[in-house]
Amino acid sequence: MADAPDIVDLTITNVAHGGVFVARHEGRVVFVPDTLPGETVRARLVDTRKKSFWRAETLEVLDASPDRVDHVWSSSSIERDPRDRAGGAEFGHIALERQRRLKADVLSDALVRFGGLDADSPLTRVAVEPTPSDEGGDGLRWRTRVSLHVDEEGRVGPYAARSHRVIPVDDLPLATTEIADAAPLHDRLQGATTVDVVASTDGVLVAVDGAASTGALHERVGDRMFSLEPLGFWQVHREAAELLSAAVASAVDADRFDATAPNLDLYGGVGLFAATLADRFGTGIRVTTVEAESSATDHAAENLVDIVGARAVTDRVDRFVRAIGREGDLARYRDATVVLDPPRSGAGTALVGELAALQPAQIVYVACDPVALARDTKALRSSGYELASVRAFDLFPHTHHVEAVAAFSRSGDRRS
């Protein structure tokens, strides 16, 4: 061990939520990035202010795991100084199959610790599925949207990991070829602060400081074309929209679905999952998509124009659901199907309680954060819903992120 008091040798025991790993030093938990379970690393303690845990940065691998590989992005490699490692590929040093097992471990642990599920339940043993084109592949070239930053010297790049310091890079291996070719990595953009590069059905758009020189963009999912704002939300992985649409359609129990009920697509964006319901159950269904961003609901209204009973509402989801609860006529929602795709922070206990009070027949939850899903799972279970199924997808290879689709039904509600 080096003489410096902040340099320590750590043995990594397991993975934690957020793309870091767990070690112990003098009885205290230490969170460490750029490593993986089973390794021994030399690390620098960088945050020792909290009593419950410390943070460290990996300097050197002393005993490597057999699952360690050369980093897919040299700009994030362990060979670089920790302060100069580009963020956005924090699992890029781990073999893909092990990445997926680690993500499954995080999801399983969250469902047990925060969701209250039994550790022996098959619902907590979820495999993280690769996307069709990534199966057996290298997990590269999937990002159709990249946000970069510009430093005071005009240099373009991602932020350093856990920092707001711009790191100039020569390549973007997680981006599609079109995105990588269009990104102005070697330009000097003096006075700018951000660069967004977006690929869609229409081609590639480069927007500096949010300035887009085009109208709506278009994305095709199956036989449908969706319009959206140039920098509006859309799934990042090139296969994500189609894969999640299929997963949501599969998660909906057809025996519980009522086409005439007031079905809901909450945090609906431009109407992807409302369209999913219509494509499975027919364009005569009733469905309301709710989104706080008015430009998104404008596009949703256009995207869902062929669905007779569809409407797009601009409102905060919590306010919309609360207003339903004040209407008094809640019985009509007992046959409804609700799809919700909340932000990374989740729906939250208050909204879950108000939604459960409507007693919809089933709820399909699209989650991009395991802990948020688990907390909302606990709230749903305490409000009379059972977790019926959960699937997880590796829509962010070489990062710690994972997407899940969970289905809930009313406890004791059995339909033939």
pLDDT for the residue numbered 416: 40
Domain boundary at 173, 193, 213, which?
213
d(CA 281, CA 49): 55
d(CA 231, CA 171): 22
Contact 273, 341 (CB under 8 A): yes
Specify whether 201 is located in the same domain as 302.
no
Q: Which of 167, 198, 287, 368 is catalytic?
A: 368
Domain boundary at 22, 49, 68, which?
68
Sign of CA dihedral 137, 370, 403, 395: negative
Coil, strand or helix at 237 = strand
Specify whether 14 is located in the same domain as 109.
no
Establish whether 368 is a catalytic residue.
yes
pLDDT for the residue numbered 165: 95
- Domain with 167, as residue range(s), is 145-213
Reported pTM: 0.94
Specify whether 192 is located in the same domain as 239.
no
Q: Which residues are annotated as a binding site for S-adenosyl-L-methionine?
A: 235, 267, 291, 341
Residue 338 is assigned to a structural domain of this protein: yes
Paired tokens of 271: 């109407």
Specify whether 323 is located in the same domain as 353.
yes
pLDDT for the residue numbered 4: 67
pLDDT for the residue numbered 3: 55
Angle between helix axes 349-357 and 370-382 (nearest 10 degrees) is 40
Paired tokens of 387: 């977790």
pLDDT for the residue numbered 168: 97
Structural domains counted in the chain: 3
Sign of CA dihedral 188, 175, 243, 392: negative
Specify whether 395 is located in the same domain as 361.
yes
pLDDT for the residue numbered 1: 45
Specify whether 21 is located in the same domain as 153.
no
Specify whether 158 is located in the same domain as 127.
no
> Which residues of the chain, if any, have pLDDT below 70?
1-4, 414-416
